[in-house]
Structure formats: structure tokens, C-alpha cells
Chains A and B, each alone.
Chain A
Amino acid sequence: MALDKRFIGREYGPFVYTIGAEKLREFTLAIGGAVPGAGTPGEPLPHVSPLLHDAQAAKAGPYGDVIAFPSFAVVFAIRPFSAALSDPEMGIDIQRVVHGEQELEFLDVMRPGDVMTSTGRIADIYEKARMGFVVVTTESRNQHGKVVVTGTWTGVVRG
């Protein structure tokens, strides 16, 4: 898959996302092994921390409210990465893309109601073993302007 290096440096965003309480719960429970049904995201397996889904326990805990599962951040922080991969000028068939590598840094916890603004840029494009690699770096700030999540996303375009 021939990719054009001239797209290195292209920027995507800002994309704004408001964190909803039920969305947090859905994500926590999907990671946590729950089986959703109509009208319910299901019940967490015993290992799932109550800080992630039990409002009463979370209020008495260190954060004073339910917090997001850390990698919930991918729900919004992926947006600049997916925008890059689906950029018509890049000419990538999304079904040929697999996720190669991922790095995330969590600088603070996230709570329901937080408003996250994500931006990203194509940091690198290269070929290896006849496959194309697209590396996008992202930064997500909360409503107070604090950087809460940074990401480095590597997509692999299979030949």
C-alpha cells in the first residue's frame, strides 16, 4: 500500500465530546464482561471496581463521583486518528487497516459531564514489509483547558 508522505503534519480537529454517565457505564461494562440486554448494559463481573459504576460507592471514594474507565478515552480521542484514516485524499480502504500499536497517557481521571476537545496530527507515514504505517498523535483537553489524555495511534494498512 503506497502512502504519500506529504500528508505528514496534517492536522485534524478540534472535535468536541461531552462525556455522558450512561456511556461511561456502557463502556465500563463492555470491558468488564457484562452481557447487555434490552434496556440494560448488564451486570459487571466481580472484578470490576465499583468506582466505575456504583454511584454510592464512588461518592465515598477518592474521586467523589463515578470515573471513566481509563481507556474510555479512546471513544473520543480516536476521532483525529479515524479522520486521518478516512481522509479521502489519503485514499485508504478502512477495511484493510488493522490497529498496529497504541500508547495512551492518562493525566487525570474523567467524570460524567466533562467536555473533551481532541486534536491530532499525522506524525509519521512509512512503509515496512510492504505494509503502510500511519502514526497519529492526539491530545484531549477537558473543559478547564487541562490536557487529560494524549495518544499515539498506529494504523497498519495491509497490502
Chain B
Amino acid sequence: MPRTFQTGDTFTHVRECDRYRPIYYAGASGDFNPIHIDPEAAKAVGLGGNILQGLCTLGWAVEAVGVFVGDPGRVRRVRVRFSKPVRPEDTITFQGKVTAIQDGRLTAEISATNQRGEDVLKGAVVEASLE
């Protein structure tokens, strides 16, 4: 039974950046920048330790909307600003809110916060087709 969506609907998606997730994501994506996989190299450039690829966090925001609409193939657009690094052992909570439904397309604003309540994304918006 197809579900219906309304402006104001909310959803939550929680993802853990386990210790080796930046390495797994490097293998899958090809992004082997040392700042993601080598804590010492990341410290040497002032990052304090290795950080997750921002595009993995973006992927999780996309995933949140794919799960919400029930089909990842419906996601049409994503826009994010990376405001704070995600580090191994962080837990990221994505909270989405449908801000518009127009012409068969759903727009959701997404917040993404770590376990300290800090935003790791700013201005995140994901759109999905409903047709």
C-alpha cells in the first residue's frame, strides 16, 4: 500500500561511524586521502586525528531519505555543507522534516548531529521523487 507524505512529516536515522568505517568507505569509494585513513597524518595537518569522508556523511543523509520514502532510487538531489568533522566512534543522528511537496517531489531539510549535539552538516536538503 503506497504511503502518503505530508509537509511537516519527520523522520530519524541514526548511524554509527565505527572505528574502521573511514577505511571501509575509502575502499568502496576510492577516497584514500591520508586525513581519512591515517590518524598520524591527520594530526600532522592539525585535524587531531583521522576524520570520516564527508561524502560518507552525505551518503547517510541520502540513505535517511531513501529509507523514509521507501526506495533509494527516488532520491533526486542532495545539498550539504560539512560544518564539523565526523570521527571514528561518533554516532550521528539525522533528523529530517518534510518542508515541501510539490509537483510530485518531496523536499526534506535534514539536521545531522553527533553525540555531543554538534551539527556535522549545515543546510542539508534532500529531494526525492514521489512519482
Which A residues lie at the B interface, using CB under 8 A?
23, 26-27, 29-36, 41, 47, 49, 51-52, 62-63, 67, 69-71, 74-75, 78, 94-107, 109, 158
Contact of B29 among A36, A74, A102, A103 (CB under 8 A): A74
In the assembled complex, the Cα of A11 lies from the Cα of B83 at a distance in Å of: 28
Q: Is the CB of A30 within 8 A of B76?
A: no
Q: Is the CB of A26 within 8 A of B62?
A: no
Q: Is the CB of A100 within 8 A of B78?
A: no
Q: Is the CB of B46 within 8 A of A69?
A: no
> Taking the nearest CB of chain A, how far is it from the CB of B87, in angstroms?
13
Size range of the chain B interface in the assembly: 35 or more
26 pairs, A vs B, C-beta closer than 8 Å: A26-B28, A27-B29, A31-B25, A31-B28, A31-B56, A31-B60, A31-B63, A32-B63, A49-B71, A62-B73, A69-B59, A69-B62, A70-B72, A70-B75, A70-B78, A71-B62, A71-B78, A74-B29, A78-B31, A95-B34, A95-B44, A97-B33, A98-B85, A101-B79, A102-B58, A103-B77
Q: Is the CB of B54 within 8 A of A99?
A: yes
Q: Is the CB of A102 within 8 A of B71?
A: no
In the assembled complex, the Cα of A32 lies from the Cα of B72 at a distance in Å of: 12
Contact of B77 among A34, A96, A104 (CB under 8 A): A104
> Taking the nearest CB of chain A, how far is it from the CB of B45, in angstroms?
5
